[in-house]
Structures are given as C-alpha cells and as structure tokens.
C-alpha cells in the first residue's frame, strides 16, 4: 500500500484517535492519541491489509527546545513499523506531557518492545504502563536523571558506582 492509503486506513480505524498526519519526504507519519495507540498498534499488526509484522524501533523526542513546540506536549514517543509481507513502512507518534509521561506498553504485541521501551525509559524517563520489567537498559540503576532530555547538560558527570566502602 502507498503511504496515503495506510494513513487513510488508520484514520478509518481510529477516527478522532488520529490527531494529524503528514508524509514529509515520503515518510508516512500519524500522530495519535495515547488512548488509541495500543489499539492502533494491534490493528497495524493484525490487519490483513497492513500486516506490519516487524516493530523496527521505538524511540522518543524531547520537544523542550524545539522552536514552536516548547509549549506543547513535551515528549513524542515514536514507533517505526515495517511489513515484511507488504514491504511498506509507517511511523506512529504519541505526544505526552512531562508530568504525565506514560504510554501503554507494546511488549504484549512484540517481545522486542520490552528492550526498546526500557531504553526510552532510561534515556527520556517516559514510563510504559504494564511493562513487565521497566529497568534501565544502557545506564546503571543508580544513575540520576534521563540523559537524552534536553535539560540534561552534556557536561554533567556522575560518579560511577563502585564497591561500597
């Protein structure tokens, strides 16, 4: 399916759940609400016309310093999906506020979401509801803060955790 058809199908399914769509440089993108994301991901995976069987990536973007988006929701959780059968791609995005930064987990749909969500939690501090094991992935448990947030200064050093004296 081409990008427009995919987005139309998503709109058809979710109605008001799809907030906006664009295909900048040919990447079909749908911004959806948090309430509808799990349903849409399930739909993407199981629908016979879409068949997005491969969850390529989950990541996030911190909009704190993005010109024009400073006042909007702070985080965007970004899902990239690919279909090995139909050979097409789509990008889904969910926007969440800083003091309400949680989205439902996709690990019930794809086991790989487990690690990808752990990385997003580690780097951005976005929680995933219902995640079976939401630990940090790349950093250590005692690390304070979430380094890919825009308000985390790149020069900040934290002592590595050594043996207890």
Partner 1 sequence: MAERTTRELFLGEGGTGGNEHLHVNLGPAHPAMHGIIRIFAELDGETIVKADVEIGYLHRAFEKDCEVGPYNNAIPYTDRLNYVSPLINNFGYASAVEKLLGIEITERCAYIRVIMSEISRICDHLTCVGASAMELGAFTVFLYMIKAREFLWELVEDVTGARLTISYGRVGGVKADLPEGFDPKVRKAFVEVRQVLKEVHLLVTGNRIFMDRMVGIGALSRRDTIAWGITGPLLRAAGVAYDVRRAQPYWAYDRVEFEVPVGKNGDNFDRYLVRMAEMEQSMRIVEQALDTIPGGAINVDSEGKPIDPASYVDRGKQGKTEGLLLVPITLSPNLEGQGRAAQGRVNVHDKRVMLPPKENTYGSIEGLMNHFMLVMDGYGIRPPAGEAYVPVEGANGELGFYVVSDGTDRPYRVRCRPPCLPPVAAIPRMIEGQMVADVIPTFGSVNMIGGELDR
Site for partner 1, rule CB under 8 A: 24-25, 27, 29, 53-57, 59, 61-62, 65-67, 78, 80, 82, 84, 87, 89, 91, 110-112, 114-116, 123, 136-140, 147-148, 152, 154
Neighbouring-strand partners of residue 62:
75
| Residue 65 or 164 having the CB closest to partner 1 | 65
Least gap, CB of 155 to partner 1 (angstroms): 10
List, as own/partner pairs, every contact residues 52-55 make where C-beta atoms lie below 8 angstroms and the sequence separation is at least 24, other chains included.
Answer: 52/81, 52/82, 52/83, 52/90, 53/83, 53/84, 53/85, 54/81, 54/82, 54/83, 54/84, 55/79, 55/80, 55/81, 55/106, 55/109, 55/110, 55/112, 55/113, 55/116
| Residue 15 or 20 having the CB closest to partner 1 | 20
| Residue 89 or 127 having the CB closest to partner 1 | 89
Handedness of CA 102, 107, 108, 110 (dihedral sign): positive
What is the secondary structure of 124-148 as a DSSP string?
H--EEET-S----SSS-TT--S-TT
Least gap, CB of 48 to partner 1 (angstroms): 16
Least gap, CB of 34 to partner 1 (angstroms): 20
| Residue 15 or 141 having the CB closest to partner 1 | 141
| Residue 12 or 27 having the CB closest to partner 1 | 27
Least gap, CB of 67 to partner 1 (angstroms): 6
Nearest-angstrom CA–CA distance, 42 and 23: 22
Least gap, CB of 109 to partner 1 (angstroms): 9
């Amino acid at each position: 399916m081409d990008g427009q058809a995919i987005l139309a199908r998503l709109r058809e399914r979710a109605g008001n759940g799809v907030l906006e769509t664009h295909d900048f440089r040919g990447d079909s993108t749908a911004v959806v609400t948090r309430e509808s994301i799990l349903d849409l991901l399930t739909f993407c995976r199981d629908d016979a016309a879409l068949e997005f069987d491969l969850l390529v990536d989950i990541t996030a973007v911190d909009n704190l310093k993005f010109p024009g988006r400073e006042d909007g929701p702070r985080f965007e959780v970004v899902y990239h999906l690919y279909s090995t059968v139909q050979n097409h791609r789509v990008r889904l995005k969910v926007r969440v506020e800083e003091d309400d930064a949680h989205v439902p987990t996709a690990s019930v749909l794809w086991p790989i979401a487990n690690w990808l969500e752990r990385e997003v939690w580690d780097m951005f501090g976005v929680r995933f509801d219902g995640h079976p094991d939401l630990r940090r992935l790349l950093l250590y448990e005692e690390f304070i803060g979430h380094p890919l947030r825009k308000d985390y200064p790149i020069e900040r050093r934290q002592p590595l955790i050594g043996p207890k004296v």
